[in-house]
Homo-oligomer: A and B are copies of this chain.
Amino acid sequence: MPQPQAAAFESPLVVASNRGPVSFRRDGAGELVAERGSGGLVTAIAGVLFESDATWLACAMTEGDREIAATGATTEVEPAGHAGFVDVAPERFAGYYNGISNRVLWQLHHHLFDLSYLPSWDAETREIWNDYREVNRMVAASLDTHADRDPVYLVQDYHLSLVPAFLRQLQPNARIAHFTHTPFAGQSFLGVLPSPMRDELLRGMLGADVLGFQAERWAENFLLCARDALPDAHVDVRRRRIRIGDRTVFIRTYPVSLDPEPLRATSRSREVRDIRKELLAWKEDAALLVRVDRLELSKNIVRGFQAFETFLHDRPDWHGKVRFLALLPRSRTEIPEYQIYAERVRELVDMINAKFGGAGWQPIEMRTDESYERAVAAYGIYDTLLVNPIFDGMNLVAMEGPLVNRQQGSLILSQNAGAFARLGRHTLAVNPFDVVETAEAIAAGLEMPRDERVRRARGLARAVLARNPVRWLTAQLRDLDVVRGIASQRSEELEEPERSIDFNIGDLDEALGRP
């Protein structure tokens, strides 16, 4: 296939994601004004992409977005770049978003189905899969309209798994990278999908030149899934590449990183300072355990509270001397499983507060309203931060907390978070299913000797700062050039893959034949 004229570094960037970095609304004066979006994906990558003057396409979420979509053009956004929108009819969006993306793919990639009963694929599954396919096709068609300057396409996440193949049909020569922000299901779980959907998903992603993941284990899952499902794919697990048709696809890891500056600026803001003072006054001289998560099944909130209950049960000497501040903004409240989960969490918190609280002391303070400022304020003053997801692509909380914490706070981190590869050695590692281990980690975190706290807190901050979002982007662009023959193979090997103590990357290296 013909090669692009310019290197990826020198080409315009066109990004696609379900939710964009900005949404538009009409203000009182009738002007369209941009509002910053939220969510982990945007937090993680919006900065670097707009610094690169990217064009960003997303599904329209507001009437303002739809007005822009109707123009067929993009609009400029601050600090640099352009935003465009794809207008999806509400019923179609429902099938694509809640139907497939959140109730099927999210659950599969996080291994969250109770397979004895669910899923049970029926005729409706086929209908909402059509919705998913159609929205992916629409996004690809919209991306195609931005083809005038031979751009690099950066397609984001599991909502848009089929976009690379649709875009490849429209532009056989396009340069496409797809990045998965979540985990990727193992073979047994991806095989739960109806076989034609599983194959369409894998082939959809393989329309890209480069498939990016947060951690080695998710990339390997993809390779093994493709090997088992696609007879015409030549899968080289060791070298992390797949040959399909006349194309080669790289399957690589590009761990998302944090830009420290905006976070530190927020932390220094008046609003956050005020909240921090309030929280300090509220907690009095108690030690502070904090968690910050969407109220989401994969975040393992129930077992986190069970562990705190076990800790309080085992350690009466801590009664009255510790507070657990749980900031858990509600999430996906229209999905029944999430409603049930939220109820279960509330009941558990009430039970623990009733069982152990009293005499002016309430062990758990839970807030389910959304406040980024309150989260950043809590980051500043925790003694121990609890991050125990069941599975997590990366986990930004585990990186944000240590960057702004002022207490040399300790971090309890699940071995199943992608961030564990980077931070694991400086944390109190937990198996997220192990309530006893997590309870012991809470005690160890709160009672850690000062010198160890300091050492670990420094290690955490250093590990977070060792990577940055620019590197996340440039590594993908470089691999796009290598796979398309614009740069040499050698430059591919300049970058060391991220090391992990948990995943035994040492052994993985050997298994994968790396030196």
Give the B-binding residues of A (Cβ under 8 A). Answer: 111-117, 119-123, 125-126, 186-189, 191-195, 217, 227-231, 233-237, 297, 302-303, 306, 310, 337, 341, 344, 390-391, 415-416, 431, 433-437, 503-504, 506-508, 510-511
Asked, given contacts A116-B341, A303-B120, A511-B237, whether A194 binds B111 with beta carbons under 8 Å apart, the answer is no
Asked, given contacts A112-B115, A120-B303, whether A511 binds B186 with beta carbons under 8 Å apart, the answer is no
User: Do the beta carbons of B120 and A433 come within 8 Å of each other?
Assistant: yes
Complex Cα spacing A192 to B186, Å: 14
| Cβ of A251 to closest chain B Cβ, rounded Å | 13
Q: Which of chain B's residues have a CB closer than 8 A to the CB of A111?
A: 115, 188-189
| Cβ of A9 to closest chain B Cβ, rounded Å | 34
| Cβ of A507 to closest chain B Cβ, rounded Å | 5
User: Do the beta carbons of A231 and B436 come within 8 Å of each other?
Assistant: no
Q: Which of chain B's residues have a CB closer than 8 A to the CB of A126?
A: 436
Q: Which of chain B's residues have a CB closer than 8 A to the CB of A192?
A: 431, 433
User: Do the beta carbons of A121 and B186 come within 8 Å of each other?
Assistant: no
Complex Cα spacing A433 to B193, Å: 8
Q: Which of chain B's residues have a CB closer than 8 A to the CB of A306?
A: 120
| Cβ of A208 to closest chain B Cβ, rounded Å | 20
Q: Which of chain B's residues have a CB closer than 8 A to the CB of A121?
A: 431, 433-437
User: Do the beta carbons of A504 and B390 come within 8 Å of each other?
Assistant: no
User: Do the beta carbons of B228 and A504 come within 8 Å of each other?
Assistant: yes
Complex Cα spacing A391 to B187, Å: 13
User: Do the beta carbons of B122 and A436 come within 8 Å of each other?
Assistant: yes
| Cβ of A309 to closest chain B Cβ, rounded Å | 10
Q: Which of chain B's residues have a CB closer than 8 A to the CB of A297?
A: 116
Complex Cα spacing A348 to B337, Å: 22
A126 — nearest CB in chain B belongs to which residue? B436
Q: Which of chain B's residues have a CB closer than 8 A to the CB of A235?
A: 507, 510-511
Complex Cα spacing A229 to B122, Å: 38
Report 8 cross-chain contacts, Cβ distance below 8 Å, ordered by A residue. A120-B302, A120-B303, A120-B306, A194-B434, A228-B507, A234-B510, A235-B507, A235-B511
A119 — nearest CB in chain B belongs to which residue? B433
Q: Which of chain B's residues have a CB closer than 8 A to the CB of A506?
A: 231
Complex Cα spacing A115 to B116, Å: 12
User: Do the beta carbons of A233 and B507 come within 8 Å of each other?
Assistant: yes
A501 — nearest CB in chain B belongs to which residue? B231
A429 — nearest CB in chain B belongs to which residue? B195
Asked, given contacts A119-B433, A120-B306, A436-B126, whether A227 binds B507 with beta carbons under 8 Å apart, the answer is yes
A-B pairs, 3 with minimum CB distance: A114-B114, A121-B434, A116-B297
Question: Quick one: which of A117, A217, A508 has the most chain B CB within 10 A?
Answer: A117
User: Do the beta carbons of A231 and B120 come within 8 Å of each other?
Assistant: no
| Cβ of A142 to closest chain B Cβ, rounded Å | 32
Q: Which of chain B's residues have a CB closer than 8 A to the CB of A337?
A: 116
| Cβ of A344 to closest chain B Cβ, rounded Å | 8
Q: Which of chain B's residues have a CB closer than 8 A to the CB of A435?
A: 120-122
Question: Quick one: which of A113, A310, A431 has the most chain B CB within 10 A?
Answer: A431
Asked, given contacts A120-B435, A122-B436, A433-B120, whether A217 binds B507 with beta carbons under 8 Å apart, the answer is no
A121 — nearest CB in chain B belongs to which residue? B434
| Cβ of A228 to closest chain B Cβ, rounded Å | 6
User: Do the beta carbons of A503 and B195 come within 8 Å of each other?
Assistant: no
| Cβ of A372 to closest chain B Cβ, rounded Å | 26
For the complex with contacts A115-B390, A188-B391, 10 further pairs of A-B residues with Cβ separation under 8 Å are A111-B188, A116-B297, A116-B341, A120-B303, A125-B436, A188-B189, A227-B511, A228-B503, A230-B507, A234-B507
A231 — nearest CB in chain B belongs to which residue? B504
User: Do the beta carbons of A117 and B194 come within 8 Å of each other?
Assistant: no
Complex Cα spacing A341 to B116, Å: 9
| Cβ of A215 to closest chain B Cβ, rounded Å | 12
User: Do the beta carbons of A436 and B116 come within 8 Å of each other?
Assistant: no
A306 — nearest CB in chain B belongs to which residue? B120
Contact of A302 among B117, B195, B303, B416 (CB under 8 A): B117
Q: Which of chain B's residues have a CB closer than 8 A to the CB of A233?
A: 507
User: Do the beta carbons of A433 and B115 come within 8 Å of each other?
Assistant: yes
Complex Cα spacing A315 to B431, Å: 49
Complex Cα spacing A189 to B187, Å: 12
| Cβ of A21 to closest chain B Cβ, rounded Å | 30
A302 — nearest CB in chain B belongs to which residue? B117
Contact of A116 among B112, B117, B434 (CB under 8 A): B112
Q: Which of chain B's residues have a CB closer than 8 A to the CB of A227?
A: 504, 507-508, 511
A235 — nearest CB in chain B belongs to which residue? B511
Complex Cα spacing A194 to B433, Å: 7
Q: Which of chain B's residues have a CB closer than 8 A to the CB of A434?
A: 121, 194-195
